[in-house]
């Protein structure tokens, strides 16, 4: 399934969400490039819950987590886990009990090593 989002205007507010596909009774993984205010993830989780999914996992590359985003995500009962990377430094108080922070260091280290050795970096993404 896909959650289509639309923004009206130049601010960060999501104005419209449309769930395309059947999520009733299925676990759902929401992917986004970043979690800033958490508005998109929370709105998408709400829309998916209304369509029948009860197990929702949120995944983003960059956990910006501005303001009270961490608390807001923790309070959404239908989001079971939030997985982010450590591309943005986070203080300990921003990481809540639902969050798993994955390190990108091994991937970056291997990419640097391969470049230094004249080997393909593209292979990292096909293995």
Give the active site residues: 5
Burial class (CB in 10 A: 0-12, 13-18, 19+), 28: buried
Q: Where are the beta strands (DSSP E) in 24-115?
A: 28-35, 56-63, 79-85, 99-102
- Residue 103 to residue 121: CA distance in whole angstroms: 18
DSSP 87: T
- Residue 102 to residue 124: CA distance in whole angstroms: 17
């Amino acid at each position: 399934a896909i959650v289509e989002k639309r923004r009206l205007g130049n601010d960060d507010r999501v104005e419209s969400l449309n769930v395309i596909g059947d999520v009733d009774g299925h676990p759902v993984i929401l992917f986004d490039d970043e979690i800033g205010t958490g508005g998109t993830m929370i709105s998408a989780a709400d829309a998916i819950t209304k369509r029948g999914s009860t197990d929702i996992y949120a995944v983003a590359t960059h956990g910006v987590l501005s303001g009270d985003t961490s608390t807001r995500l923790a309070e959404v009962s239908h989001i079971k886990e939030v997985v982010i990377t450590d591309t943005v430094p986070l203080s300990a108080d921003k990481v809540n009990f639902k969050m798993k922070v994955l390190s990108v260091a091994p991937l970056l280290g291997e990419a640097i090593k391969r470049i230094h050795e004249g080997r393909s970096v593209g292979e990292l993404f096909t293995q």
